[in-house]
Structure 1
Amino acid sequence: MSTRPIDHRNTFSLDALNFFLADVRDGLGPYLAIYLLAVHHWQPASIGFVMTLAGVTALVTQIPAGALIDHTHRKRAVIAIAALVVTFSCLVLPFVSSFSLVAITQTMSALSASVFAPAIAAITLGITGPRAFTQRTGRNETFNHAGNAVAALLAGGFAYLFGPIAVFYLMAAMAIGSLISVSFISANAIDHNLARGAVASTSGEEHLSGFSVLLANKALLIFAICCALFHLANAAMLPLVSQKLAQINLAMATPLTSACIVAAQLVMVPMAMLVGSKADTWGRKPLLLAGFIILPLRGVLYIVSDDPYWLVAVQLLDGIGAGIFGALFPIIVRDLTQGTGRFNISLGAISTVFGLGAALSPGLTGLVLQEAGYNAAFLTLAAIAAVAFILLLLAMPETKDSSQASTIND
């Protein structure tokens, strides 16, 4: 389990891959909604259905994507093909306007993008080995958040100068950048046994545990529940803040929301660096608890004042919580699956669980908002986040040494 030799070409190529894929992984999101509304004058229900279809596609393909990455030795090719599909779906959008064609392009894009996260995690683990994985994952997240911030700034500027259609070309350009970046990663540098969390084998034989590892691992199940509660509380907070900003000052709602997104991403950069440098010495759980406690605190602070700048300032705390969680997520899953050969399918399974929590969040919040108002909605999300924190505190073990134990047992 020693650290593998460092190849600087692979290091910089991984940096570039994470930077360029940052915006591509998340899809067009609100930019698509703005384009369809402003240019094609779609009804909100049609826009919502297309976005929901893309979201459901991304949700149900997480586990198959993880399984594919666990078993294939062509991880770079999978990323390249997915990047080409995303590029095509972006470039074709300005030339189609029918509901069916737009829905098809977004479904294709969501299906392809589902492989990016497990593929990057697998390539990273296969190149660095388990001991250097924590530091490299922190670096991955650093470049990911930097890419998101730069993409958001460019998207805002290009959309202002050339209209919302410019965002599609920007995302296509970033997808092409990711295609070039992955081509510079050496195929021979990836140990495919290590990449799926199995024990490296010089004989080339595979010693894989069954799919039951996902159900039999109690700590993994607890972590999945904590993640689902975290996203159930977190996913609706920014949209809720945006709605409140629109009620207070409609003209400033969009600029303030955009500033909030960019600033939060910039806050996530040092958080990812902190995880990469300290998670192996401080342990995973203290850092994860710090990230989780931020969420109920945000929910309570939102009700303190209706001042727009106060709301934006509080939203910046998302950069701390989400930044820590995002960097620790693959590290903890790797800890709990090391030696099983099911690292990426486990990533996919937990991503599906917390994706379901995120999908339910807006609906739950909307019901509370309609019946009891903004303060009640924020406090409901804060209460869910508090439950997630308590469960994490009481039931989730420290996982730092789990990978060593599983390797010894195997």
Structure 2
Amino acid sequence: VVTVSQLATALAGAGIGPLMAAITLGIVRQKGFNIQIGRNQAWNHAGNMAGAGLSGWLGWQFGLSAIFFLEVAFGLFAISAVLLIPEKSIDHKAARGLDDKPADDEGTAEGLRSFLRHKPLLILASCLCFFHLGNAAMLPLYGMAVVSAGKGNPAMFTAMTVMVAQAVMIIVSLLAIRFVRDRGYWIVLLISFAALPLRGLIAGSFIQHWGVWPVQILDGIGAGLQSVAVPGLVARLLNGTGRINIGQGVVMTAQGIGASLSPALGGWLAEDLGYPVAFYTLGCFAIVSLGLWIGSASTLRSADQVSA
């Protein structure tokens, strides 16, 4: 049952990101994409925060089984929300990234091999893979570290770690809209990558109940900026190719590879070398992202300007 549920969750999670980006692009097009994706992410993080709070309270009051019924209810609400979107409000050509074509031209998507030649996209995917290799295990490991030290209630502390990060992400997602407009994608993602090494340093140095605040605030900054900048940059880079949705999927696959390996790596480090070493090591993976991102600054910035 656990295996099947995790498989279903993974399949749904893999599809939701590109699909939501495509629907958004089809409704508001390139011109309004950054603003709308920022609003989408703010609501997304608000829902995550509410879900974490309710899960913590229900788990504390009624046991862990109550959390699963809550997730079923949220799933039904999400389906209802999608059904309320008028199908005719979505321009399917624009959703693919072809809305710069003439009105009577359906457009032709570029071949899939074009991704292998798209250096900026490959750099972005590589940076995100290394970032999530270090980032994904940080939250659960920090919760385990604090709880195992007897400094927090399992259900309530875990909920608190999520709520702090998601609250910050709401604010950061909205601020990222203006930041991207004024400073561009490159600097926004640079800041998001830089947050993880500092987060790992603090997590490894202070395994305390109060540590959730600086550790998860930094998580909220990094993830909040990426939730807006990554889909926006992919849509910008691949505008006119007709392959924006696949591009979103390619980037999310790279993120998923890093995120899927992170718990195994983090768990092994924590078990054999202790939690502090695990946090320091996980934080170092973002240094690889930083080096690659800074080293490719000219390529990425020129591609962003050309695509604009």
Calculate the TM-score normalised by the size of structure 1: 0.70
**Pairing 1:205-220 to 2, within 5 Å after superposition:** 205-220=106-121
Would you say 1:332 and 2:233 are equivalent positions? yes
- Matched letter for residue 262 of structure 1: M
Between stretches 186-195 and 287-296, larger displacement belongs to 186-195
The alpha carbon displacement at 1:117 in A equals 1.5
Aligned partner of 1:188 in structure 2 is 88
- Matched letter for residue 138 of structure 2: M
Determine helix, strand or coil for the equivalent of 1:115. helix
- Could you tell me whether the CA contact under 8 Å between 2:235 and 2:244 is conserved in 1? yes
- Could you tell me whether the CA contact under 8 Å between 1:246 and 1:253 is conserved in 2? yes
Aligned partner of 1:348 in structure 2 is 249
Determine helix, strand or coil for the equivalent of 2:205. coil
- Could you tell me whether the CA contact under 8 Å between 1:197 and 1:342 is conserved in 2? yes
Q: How many residues are matched?
A: 304
- Could you tell me whether the CA contact under 8 Å between 1:280 and 1:400 is conserved in 2? no
- Could you tell me whether the CA contact under 8 Å between 1:224 and 1:350 is conserved in 2? yes
The change in CA–CA distance for 1:103 and 1:295 in structure 2 (over 3 A counts) is closer
Q: Out of 362, 371, 374, which is 2:272 matched to?
A: 371
State, as a whole percentage, how many aligned pairs show the same letter. 36
Between stretches 166-175 and 250-259, larger displacement belongs to 250-259
Determine helix, strand or coil for the equivalent of 1:170. helix
- Matched letter for residue 137 of structure 2: A
The alpha carbon displacement at 1:322 in A equals 0.9
Instruction: Give the greater-gyration-radius structure (CA).
Output: 1
- Could you tell me whether the CA contact under 8 Å between 2:56 and 2:156 is conserved in 1? no
- Matched letter for residue 296 of structure 1: P
Aligned partner of 2:45 in structure 1 is 145
The change in CA–CA distance for 1:345 and 1:374 in structure 2 (over 3 A counts) is same
Once residues 105 and 315 of structure 1 are traced to their aligned partners in structure 2, the CA distance between those partners, rounded to angstroms, is 27
Q: Out of 271, 275, 287, which is 1:386 matched to?
A: 287
Aligned partner of 1:61 in structure 2 is none
Once residues 175 and 262 of structure 1 are traced to their aligned partners in structure 2, the CA distance between those partners, rounded to angstroms, is 19
The alpha carbon displacement at 1:109 in A equals 4.6
Would you say 1:260 and 2:161 are equivalent positions? yes
The change in CA–CA distance for 1:103 and 1:232 in structure 2 (over 3 A counts) is closer
- Could you tell me whether the CA contact under 8 Å between 2:176 and 2:229 is conserved in 1? yes
The change in CA–CA distance for 1:276 and 1:356 in structure 2 (over 3 A counts) is same
- Could you tell me whether the CA contact under 8 Å between 1:193 and 1:201 is conserved in 2? no
- Matched letter for residue 156 of structure 2: P
Would you say 1:169 and 2:73 are equivalent positions? no
CA deviation profile, 1:134-182 (whole Å, cap 9, x unmatched) = 1111111000000101111122223333332322332222222222222
Show structure 2 runs of 5+ residues with no match: none
The alpha carbon displacement at 1:241 in A equals 0.9
CA deviation profile, 1:352-398 (whole Å, cap 9, x unmatched) = 11211111112222333333322222221122111111211221412
Once residues 158 and 328 of structure 1 are traced to their aligned partners in structure 2, the CA distance between those partners, rounded to angstroms, is 34
- Could you tell me whether the CA contact under 8 Å between 1:292 and 1:388 is conserved in 2? yes
The alpha carbon displacement at 1:110 in A equals 3.6
Q: Out of 205, 223, 228, which is 1:304 matched to?
A: 205
The alpha carbon displacement at 1:204 in A equals 4.8
**Pairing 1:27-106 to 2, within 5 Å after superposition:** 99=1, 103-106=3-6
- Matched letter for residue 285 of structure 2: I
The alpha carbon displacement at 1:216 in A equals 1.0
- Could you tell me whether the CA contact under 8 Å between 2:56 and 2:155 is conserved in 1? no
CA deviation profile, 1:302-334 (whole Å, cap 9, x unmatched) = 233333312543232111111111121100111
- Matched letter for residue 164 of structure 2: A
The alpha carbon displacement at 1:236 in A equals 1.3
Aligned partner of 1:247 in structure 2 is 148
Once residues 158 and 373 of structure 1 are traced to their aligned partners in structure 2, the CA distance between those partners, rounded to angstroms, is 32
The change in CA–CA distance for 1:147 and 1:216 in structure 2 (over 3 A counts) is same
Aligned partner of 1:272 in structure 2 is 173
The alpha carbon displacement at 1:113 in A equals 4.2
- Matched letter for residue 403 of structure 1: S
- Could you tell me whether the CA contact under 8 Å between 1:193 and 1:200 is conserved in 2? no
Determine helix, strand or coil for the equivalent of 2:173. helix
Determine helix, strand or coil for the equivalent of 2:115. helix
Once residues 219 and 358 of structure 1 are traced to their aligned partners in structure 2, the CA distance between those partners, rounded to angstroms, is 21
- Matched letter for residue 233 of structure 1: G
Determine helix, strand or coil for the equivalent of 2:153. helix
